[in-house]
Chain A
Amino acid sequence: GDSVTQMEGPVTLSEEAFLTINCTYTATGYPSLFWYVQYPGEGLQLLLKATKADDKGSNKGFEATYRKETTSFHLEKGSVQVSDSAVYFCALGGAGTALIFGKGTTLSVSS
């Protein structure tokens, strides 16, 4: 069945460092791919999405490119801020009815 694998955390960075959180997927067909962010004490918010191969989703300085050849959707940001500290979830919307989530990666940014 469909699945998502994302890098284990926690990821600890200093402010202004470069961020990469790896995400790979297994799916039949052509799924949509998402990154969600969960700030402390809050629900999940959609951060960015891509619906077809080679699409680049971007929002708030974060980017991810849908790479069908490597079945990946890695999240990147050039310069993280303390306010980016959160849990990040990669998710897949495939042929089924449910979004399939990775286990989440905790990002901690210090000043």
Chain B
Amino acid sequence: GAGVSQSPSNKVTEKGKDVELRCDPISGHTALYWYRQSLGQGLEFLIYFQGNSAPDKSGLPSDRFSAERTGGSVSTLTIQRTQQEDSAVYLCASSLGAGQGQRELFFGEGSRLTVL
């Protein structure tokens, strides 16, 4: 696609429910990232996929968070048993790769999650 596409753009859920957030990266981009943006917290790295390598999950805040990337393209971020502190904007980004000239991240518009 022309840009990184995320869905849904807005999601309101009740505490304890599971949610899935989807990211469709730019065609041909091998690297995909998830970040979380909370009010006053800046952008927090969650997880990074690069090609067929094992993902870097070092930023996932708890085992309620997981992500997968199918076929090297679309990614889904899943949050189980949501808590109110999970409320944030979840941003997805992609880049051409991991090489020196490939590090520019292109961001989607984000999925705003509100947990009541």
Do A and B make up one complex?
Answer: no
